[in-house]
Amino acid sequence: MLDFEDEEEDENDVVQNQNSAAALASLTEPRARGYRTTTMSFCPLMLRLCAALILVAACVGCPTPSTPPVPTAKPGVKTAGLTLLVVDDAPLGEAIAREWQSAYEAELDVQAVSLAELAKASRLPGDVIVFPSGQVGRLVQRELIALLDEEALAKGAFNRPDIFDQVRLREMVWGNKTVAVPLGSPRLVLVYRPDIFEELSLAPPQTWKEYQAIADRLAADGKEDRAVIEPLADGWAGQMLLARAAAYLTHRDHVSPLFDYQTLDPLITSAPYVRTLEELVASRKGQPDQPRLTPAEAWTEIRGGKAAMAITWAMPMSEKLTSTAPLAFGVLPGGSDVYNFSRARWDQRESGEEIHVPIFPISGRMAAVTTTTTNVHAARDFVAWLAGSEVSAVVGPATSATTPFRNSQLAAAQRWTGLDGAAAKAYGETLQKTCQLQRYVGLRLPGREDYLAALDVAVVQAISAEKSPADALAGAAARWREITEKLGLENQRRALRRDLGLESLP
């Protein structure tokens, strides 16, 4: 278990850190899938000349130098390297370690960290941290990760323009400053069976109203075990509620769909949330006993032909299926109805206004430099290397928490999905389109998991008929106020303003 308490750095740590920075700075020549360490050596002529000069000096009685020369590193000898902290993702940590060792001679100490440990941390005893994307607000607000060098990310193999728009412009940013690099950021998409849709003359739904009509038709047809699957397991039900509500929440004249950005009072008892939860409850009619699944379980079900439509994302399978169904993909449904919070009324989106609105983060992994590292330049180089198009495409598919996040990765989407070429391409294009949408809803504040857990409870209470949607959301709002008060109203207000881009980091 990692010790996250303050600790003094001993002399060996300082030497290690100095060696690490020097070692990473020297990694400039190509080597298979990465770079190789270069070391300094003397040509034979120079060696003979040096030997001659030493002999002459000895003969004439020159005094011995008081300070010995610094020894040159020997080829093939590993130099002390960086410490990488990986939060709740052992497969990803192992993949990063393998890729680093195949590319460099410098060492990489990979240490596992739990989310519970991270929540209590006042400092991070490492140089770089890989973490769930939703934790970025907590890490920045507690000053556990450092700003990244915009100039360094604008050049070289990192290739920032290659990254999907939403990820590049918003997900990497906090308080208008770049604080982390992406390793893959899934978005919920619509997955459906094109063979069944063709047989029933159905088109992919564009709105949630159309989605419900198709769900009713599929249920009546009864060809599959389940007509529709939505991820409503603990940890996901609240996110599914936000995904369904997103289009209703993002009025062109409103900037903060979750909280009042001045008072930080939660908005989740307002009309669009109640309407969304009512629609979600209606969609569960006829299947009250169906288990609540995770996105991974939903993907397995529809991949194996046990559902006609699902909301999830494509991910590697942990087990081989005996049979697989043909799949097609679409952007998550949206709607032309949008709630005007300032006037407390429903409006219609203007002609040409986009009706689809995704949420993020839904999952995903990011990497950042810690504020405790003494290897600042080496750590920055490491995160740029890790999130580069080549390396991220190798390590990202090791975990179901990631997915392609670059335009250049679409051709290799099969690595993340296990789908055949055409289906993988269709998924990649849907993901790309989703990440080009300008509007979005995101919950990245400190306390994210607590806020979402309160929404989980509300959803479960509503779909089980324990409470009405309005009463369930009122209970969640009361819990949100408690969470905000515990974390500090002013701290959370500042975090919200920075998340929305209304306030910059100092």
The structure tokens listed for 402 are 């990631």
pLDDT of residue 67: 33
> At the top level of CATH, which class does the domain 189-360+436-499 belong to?
alpha beta
User: What residue segments make up the domains of the chain, in order of their start?
Assistant: 76-186+362-420, 189-360+436-499
pLDDT of residue 226: 80
Sign of CA pseudo-dihedral 137, 439, 164, 204:
positive
Query: Angle CA(162)–CA(166)–CA(172) in degrees, nearest 5?
Result: 80
Closest CA to 405 of 138, 184, 134: 184
Give the integer Cα–Cα distance in Å for 315 and 396.
11
Alpha helices in 149-270 (DSSP H): 150-153, 165-166, 194-199, 208-221, 237-249
Question: Would you say the CATH fold of 189-360+436-499 matches that of 76-186+362-420?
Answer: yes
With a cut of 50, list the residues of the chain below it in pLDDT.
Answer: 1, 5-80
pLDDT of residue 223: 66
Please give the biggest Cα pair distance in the chain: 103
pLDDT of residue 3: 53
> At the top level of CATH, which class does the domain 76-186+362-420 belong to?
alpha beta
Q: Are 473 and 458 in contact, with CB atoms under 8 Å apart?
A: yes
> What are the pLDDT digits (tens) for 102-134?
988 778 999 999 999 999 999 999 999 999 999
Q: Ramachandran region of residue 9, left (φ > 0), alpha (ψ -120 to 50) or beta?
A: beta
pLDDT of residue 4: 53
> What are the pLDDT digits (tens) for 461-476?
999 999 999 999 999 9
- Bridge-partner residues for 184, per DSSP? 365
pLDDT of residue 222: 76
Give the integer Cα–Cα distance in Å for 463 and 476.
15
Residue 242: phi and psi, rounded to 5, are -65, -40
Query: Angle CA(137)–CA(160)–CA(394) in degrees, nearest 5?
Result: 85
Q: Are 6 and 122 in contact, with CB atoms under 8 Å apart?
A: yes
Closest CA to 191 of 160, 226, 163: 226
pLDDT of residue 156: 75
pLDDT of residue 39: 32
Residue 357 half-sphere exposure toward CB, CA atoms < 13 A: 25
pLDDT of residue 104: 86
Give the integer Cα–Cα distance in Å for 377 and 375.
6
